[in-house]
Amino acid sequence: MHPSIHARTNPDKPAIILTPGGRTVTYGELDARSNQGAHLFRSLGLKPGDAIALCLENTPAFLEIAWAAQRSGLYFVAVSTKLQADEVAYILTDSGAKLFVTSTSLGDLPGQLLARRLDLLHFALGEAMEGYRDFLAERAAQPPTPIADEQAGFDMLYSSGTTGRPKGIKPRAIAGEPITTPDPMTVALAETYGATADSVYFGPAPLYHAAPLRTSMAVSRLGGTVLLTEKFDPETVLAAIQQHRVTVGQFVPTHFIRMLKLPEEVRARYDISSLKTVIHAAAPCPVPVKEAMMAWFGPIIYEYYSGTEGNGGTSISPQEWLTHKGSVGRPRTIGLHICDEDGREVPPRTEGMVYFSGGPGFEYHNDAAKTQESRHPNGWTTLGDIGWVDEDGYLYLTDRKSFMIISGGVNIYPQEIENLLILHPRVADVAVVGAPDEEMGEKVVAVVQPLDWAEAGDALAADLMDYARAHLSHVKSPRRIDFMRELPRHATGKLYKRLIRDSYWAAARP
């Protein structure tokens, strides 16, 4: 299936709706605009296998451009709007993007990127901006019919790597496939979650994340309606569910927590009975939170565990979860293996590295070493997570091998933050860990060994906070800075980060 098919059979049906406001793009308009975008890419010399990048707020144009790239055989790189200019510039360079689309709503970021003189074409949406071409105007000048050499393109999204720099993930190669070639997300959405052409999908998260982007595009393949919002607000979400009769919702645990914290009278004000399926992932969900959501929304909440790499995953229905609370489910069509440090499979209820077999392959762009690290000698692949399975084969996640911090559903890699803070002239050593946070799941904490212990205190903490926020996106900047006279390092220089991290989690236990 493909939105171009629905454009022929039901051109006036809403494909995308932006809420609040109700700005709508029909399937006929989505098809025409994606065709025009494809013609524009070809006119600029982009050929199958090339990459474009988008750094945009949630807007219908985001999906219009993604579909234009999909039907042009291009990789489309979705870049977080929360990143600093240096971080965005790295991704643009590493991905080899030949064209970049951003928005005038992103403040100083477009100008800062232009000043770096990157070797690519700069386009913007919105008001005219010096140094940027008008994407919408140039697209409108192109024909609304398909290009002659249509073929399937794919997303190339970025995930943090062992060096602290994000790594591009190429789940599939551009190989001349028809644009209608089925994709796994569409199959799962239909077969596991019951989505159809009658579905109204709402995922109030940024489209630059893998789950909302891929699920939105899968809904468009099925012929359903995608509801977008620029910013998550718990009451606004409930109002949108009621107004648009949303049938499929996708959230992260932080969304659940914020909705549950609304006053009871506010929660009761909205009719959410249209919901048939709610999906969540991205971060571990505390059992009490999920129990409360089940009591409110009903036993319609499904969970899955996967990664941007797309190499495998597990899923669990609400009925299964009620008998296996805390589990992220079982794999449906692939193999699951828990292995010790020597790569040997371990028995049930024994922790180890989580591997998948029989799933799609992937590679980390420009990082053969990182790709090799993800492989088991048997050819299985891992996302670097630690977990265990019960006797029924249900997976329970217990840790991240790399100490990845997941805050509000966003993955944060500590090494990048450590690499920055250690450059501060008053810092002798630093460790960044995830500490428990009631709302966000985890928060970023920097444990600093000052060069001069006498300086440990509020003034230095404030200075370090300002320093971090000047160089990192807000979500990566520490929420808390603590001090330690000497960090626990082995004589070889190895940092025992687990000792630091575990102290925060132990202190939070009742």
Of the candidates 48, 63, 67, the one whose C-alpha atom is nearest the C-alpha of residue 125 is 63
Give the range with max mean pLDDT: 160-169, 288-297, 357-366, 492-501.
288-297
Mean of pLDDT values over 354-382? 90
Share of the chain above pLDDT 90, in %: 68
- Please give the Cα distance from 220 to 26 (Å, whole number): 11
Mean of pLDDT values over 345-366? 91
pLDDT of residue 173: 87
Q: How confident is the model at residue 23 (pLDDT cuts 50, 70, 90)?
A: very high
For 244-255, how does the pLDDT look when each residue is reduced to its tens digit (9 = 90+)? 999 999 998 878
For 229-281, how does the pLDDT look when each residue is reduced to its tens digit (9 = 90+)? 998 899 999 999 999 999 999 998 878 888 988 999 999 999 999 999 999 98
pLDDT of residue 5: 97
pLDDT of residue 491: 42
Position with higher pLDDT, 171 vs 29: 29
Residue 400, both tokens: 């991240």
Mean of pLDDT values over 322-333? 93
Contacts of 209 (CB under 8 A, 6+ apart): 78, 282, 409, 410
Mean of pLDDT values over 383-402? 85
Of the candidates 395, 393, 397, 368, the one whose C-alpha atom is nearest the C-alpha of residue 384 is 397
pLDDT of residue 351: 86
pLDDT of 418 above 70: yes
Min mean pLDDT across 17-21, 181-185, 324-328 is at 181-185
pLDDT of 286 above 70: yes
Q: How confident is the model at residue 492 (pLDDT cuts 50, 70, 90)?
A: very low
Mean of pLDDT values over 71-78? 97
Element (H, E) at 338: strand 335-339
pLDDT of 283 above 80: no
pLDDT of 362 above 50: yes
Dihedral sign from CA coordinates of 196, 202, 206, 210: negative
- Please give the Cα distance from 293 to 147 (Å, whole number): 47
What three-state secondary structure class fits 23?
A: strand
Domains and CATH numbers, the chain: 3-12+26-181 (3.40.50.12780), 183-308 (3.40.50.980), 408-508 (3.30.300.30)
| Position 252, amino acid | V
For 96-120, how does the pLDDT look when each residue is reduced to its tens digit (9 = 90+)? 999 999 999 999 999 999 999 999 9
Q: How confident is the model at residue 163 (pLDDT cuts 50, 70, 90)?
A: very low
Distance of CA 462 to the CA centre of its chain: 30
| Position 120, amino acid | L
Q: In terms of DSSP bridges, do strands 363-364 and 352-357 run parallel, antiparallel, or are they unpaired?
A: unpaired
- Is there a contact between 250 and 205 (Cβ–Cβ < 8 Å)? yes
Q: How confident is the model at residue 307 (pLDDT cuts 50, 70, 90)?
A: confident
**Mean pLDDT in the chain?**
91
Of the candidates 362, 364, 248, the one whose C-alpha atom is nearest the C-alpha of residue 313 is 362
Q: How many CB atoms lie within 10 A of CB 420?
A: 22
Rounded to the nearest 10°, the torsion over CA 266, 267, 272, 273 is -110
299 phi and psi angles, rounded to 5 deg: -75, 65
Share of the chain above pLDDT 70, in %: 96
Contacts of 229 (CB under 8 A, 6+ apart): 18, 19, 20, 58, 202, 204, 236, 237, 240
- Is there a contact between 385 and 348 (Cβ–Cβ < 8 Å)? no
Q: In terms of DSSP bridges, do strands 480-483 and 441-450 run parallel, antiparallel, or are they unpaired?
A: parallel
Peptide bond into 20 cis (omega under 30): yes
- Is there a contact between 165 and 90 (Cβ–Cβ < 8 Å)? yes
- Is there a contact between 269 and 300 (Cβ–Cβ < 8 Å)? no
